[in-house]
């Protein structure tokens, strides 16, 4: 049974200090051995996504093949040299109508099936439609649901409505994990990002005990800019840190949108390490929603092995 949702107080954010601290994480010097480990970890944390009107079953199957084996030729070379192999990605994220296709293509691989639901990307559908959208995706085999909050309601100050909807959708998820998308590019300020993060966490946890990683907060749909900027992600990580101190539950984090290079991904990992600790450096608690990132991660691994960059088209697009 759902507990009463206690709406959190607003916590003002020092935007200047948050920006300055966030920028510092991109200036860390990382040795080659550590960089190789970080690149593989980032791949294992990536959610490959296709969310277009022209999505088809064959496109999803191709994406699933890449998710399971991102670079077969490079992987074979690494194995011959006794190097660590290229891991599979964490999940493939698709629209609900293609969940069954992804489930079949990923069977036995360990790669999760994620699905956007709840009237993605606008979140402007009636709640019953969004709940039905969620249930259908889970019934078809989704392991994870990426939902969008009602940004219009949030910006209008209807915080109780936003919280109630998040709690209802988490209940509709049943055994599936929930990622709550804030669409930070529409929230306008870091103060609003922090408040939305706190509301999302409180609402999701009001549905009963949660194991670590059953609930994530996520920056963006990938349809709005700016998206996963370093200051925004830092503010969300700090909300997760404070929630862990208060509840003992580790909430997951998913920056999505605008992370295109290995350098940017590693800076995010450094920020997670220094804000939350090494326990969060696992796909169970941290994800990248950045399909275009994967090929740059692979190119950087190839560079460490060969001493020079691979061509951009050496790794096939899904």
The catalytic residues are 146, 218, 254
Give the alpha-carbon dihedral of 286, 287, 293, 298, to 10 degrees: 70
By CB neighbour count within 10 A (0-12 exposed, 13-18 middle, 19+ buried), where does 58 fall? Answer: exposed
* CA distances (Å), origin 239, targets 34, 120, 134: 28, 24, 26
Cα–Cα distance measured from residue 102 to residue 2, given in angstroms and rounded to the nearest whole number: 32
**CB distance 100 to 78 below 8 Å:** no
Q: How many helices (H) and strands (E) does the chain have?
A: 12, 7
Cβ of 29: how many Cβ atoms within 10 Å? Answer: 5
Give the alpha-carbon dihedral of 125, 171, 165, 210, to 10 degrees: -130
Cα–Cα distance measured from residue 134 to residue 146, given in angstroms and rounded to the nearest whole number: 9
């Amino acid at each position: 049974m759902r507990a009463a949702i206690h709406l959190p107080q607003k916590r003002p954010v020092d935007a200047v200090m948050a920006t300055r601290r966030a920028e510092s994480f991109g200036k860390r010097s990382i040795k080659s051995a550590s960089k190789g480990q970080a690149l593989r970890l980032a791949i294992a944390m990536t959610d490959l996504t296709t969310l277009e009107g022209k999505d088809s079953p064959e496109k999803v199957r191709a994406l699933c093949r890449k998710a399971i084996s991102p670079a077969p030729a490079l992987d074979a070379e690494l194995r011959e040299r006794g190097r660590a192999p290229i891991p599979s990605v964490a999940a493939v994220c698709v629209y609900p109508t293609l969940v069954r296709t992804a489930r079949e293509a990923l069977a036995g691989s360990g790669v999760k099936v994620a699905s956007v639901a709840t009237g993605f990307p606008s979140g402007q559908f009636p709640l019953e439609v969004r709940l039905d959208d969620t249930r259908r995706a889970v019934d078809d085999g989704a392991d994870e649901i990426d939902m969008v909050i009602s940004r219009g309601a949030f910006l209008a100050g209807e915080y109780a409505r936003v919280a109630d909807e998040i709690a209802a959708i988490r209940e509709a998820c049943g055994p599936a994990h929930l990622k709550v998308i804030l669409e930070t590019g529409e929230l306008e300020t870091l103060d609003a990002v922090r408040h939305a993060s706190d509301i999302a966490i409180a609402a999701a946890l009001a549905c009963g005990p949660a194991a670590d990683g059953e609930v994530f907060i996520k920056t963006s749909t990938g349809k709005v800019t700016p998206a996963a900027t370093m200051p925004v992600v830092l503010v969300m990580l700090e909300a997760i840190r404070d929630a862990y101190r208060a509840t003992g539950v580790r909430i997951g984090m998913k920056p999505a949108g605008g992370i295109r290079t290995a350098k940017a991904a590693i800076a995010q990992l450094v920020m997670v390490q220094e804000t939350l600790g090494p326990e969060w450096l696992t796909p169970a608690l941290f994800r990248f929603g950045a399909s275009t990132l994967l090929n740059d991660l692979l190119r950087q691994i190839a560079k460490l092995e060969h001493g020079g960059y691979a061509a951009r088209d050496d790794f096939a697009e899904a």
